[in-house]
Amino acid sequence: MRLIRLRRKKERPKFWSEFRIIPGWLMGLVAVLYVIALVVAIAVNLSFRNNPNGNDMFPGEFRDNPAIASLALAGVVTAISLLIALMLFMLGYVNQDAKRRGMNSTLWTLLVLILTPVQGGIIGFIVYLLVRDPLPYPCPRCAQPVGPRFNFCPNCKCNLYPSCPNCKKEIAETDKFCPYCATDLKNGEPAAIISAEHSA
């Protein structure tokens, strides 16, 4: 069986697949809060339509036209809601992503939350993206998830980093000769089998 060196494969996350790990209940909560904020803002704005002085919330042409004032208010509420939603989605993403990587999700969520007043939380989010652990991957032999820093599978002892039997440097599963010392690797037999034979 050929050993696929997945740990060297760089992650290329796609936006929508990563966006899906944000909890659905958080997206629903943000949508409900947005609708409530919009309804309250428009209701308060329309309550001024019977005011003899007009709408004191907006100057000029908005003062005597509650429809235009409502549209303007809806735009303001939407802009503020987008910023708040972005911060909440960022916290939800960090929490769920840290869990699936085996990191302390509470600690990282709190760190991003504490840094939210600084540059809108972007600094904490960027720090998380830079230092987060790689994703676990399936063992090429038994398909059980293994940590990205594991050298051997804890389930089947598969050597996740095969090495040359002579110089002990890491080799690829397709190498016929060691690129460091030119040791014959048995005509390109899978490196996992070579490693197993020499460890026995």
The pLDDT tens digits for 109-161 are: 998 888 877 665 688 888 888 888 888 878 878 888 887 778 788 888 887 77
* Nearest Cα to Cα of residue 20 among 81, 84, 89: 89
pLDDT tens per residue, range 102-119? 889 999 999 888 887 766
Core vs surface per residue 40-56: b (16+ CB within 10 A) or e: ebbeebeebeeeeebbe
* Whole-structure pTM value: 0.66
Phi, psi of 176 (to 5 degrees): -90, -30
Question: What is the rounded CA–CA span in Å between residue 123 and residue 50?
Answer: 47
| Half-sphere CA count of 138, side-chain side, radius 13 A | 5
Tell me if 140 sits within 8 A of 5, measured CB to CB.
no
Question: What is the rounded CA–CA span in Å between residue 5 and residue 78?
Answer: 47
Q: Is the pLDDT of residue 56 over 90?
A: no
Mean pLDDT over the full length of the chain: 77
Question: What is the rounded CA–CA span in Å between residue 192 and residue 200?
Answer: 12
